[in-house]
Amino acid sequence: MLKEKRNFSIDEVEKECAYLDSKVSYLLESYNGDEYSFIEQSGDFEYAIHFTINELEKDDFKEYGYRYLFTYVGSRGGYYHYLVRDKSNADKYRDYEERIQAIQLLQNRLSRFTFVVVAGLLALFTYLFFKNREIVYLLVLIPGVLLGVYSIMLQKRYKDFNLKYGKD
* Residue 168, pLDDT score: 53
How many Å apart are CA 57 and CA 61, to the nearest integer?
Answer: 9
Between 61 and 117, where is the model more confident? 117
Q: Count other C-beta atoms under 10 Å from residue 61's C-beta.
A: 20
- Mapped onto helix, strand or coil, the DSSP state of residue 37 is strand
* Residue 41, pLDDT score: 93
Q: Count other C-beta atoms under 10 Å from residue 20's C-beta.
A: 23
Mean pLDDT, rounded, for 137-154 = 91
Contact predicate 92/17, CB 8 Å? yes
Whether pTM exceeds 0.85:
no
CA neighbor of 2 nearest in space, from 18, 26, 34, 24: 26
How would residue 80 be classed by pLDDT, with cut points 50, 70 and 90?
very high
Q: What is the pLDDT of residues 8-58, one digit of tens each?
A: 999 999 999 999 999 999 999 999 999 999 999 998 999 999 999 888 777
* Residue 22, pLDDT score: 95
Check pLDDT > 90 for residue 109: no
How many Å apart are CA 137 and CA 128, to the nearest integer?
Answer: 7
* Residue 79, pLDDT score: 93
Long-range contacts, 57-61 (Cβ 8 Å, 24+): 61/93
* Residue 62, pLDDT score: 80
* Element at 73 (helix H, strand E): strand 67-73
Between 57 and 125, where is the model more confident? 125
* Residue 167, pLDDT score: 65
Provide φ and ψ at 46, rounded to 5°. Answer: -125, 130
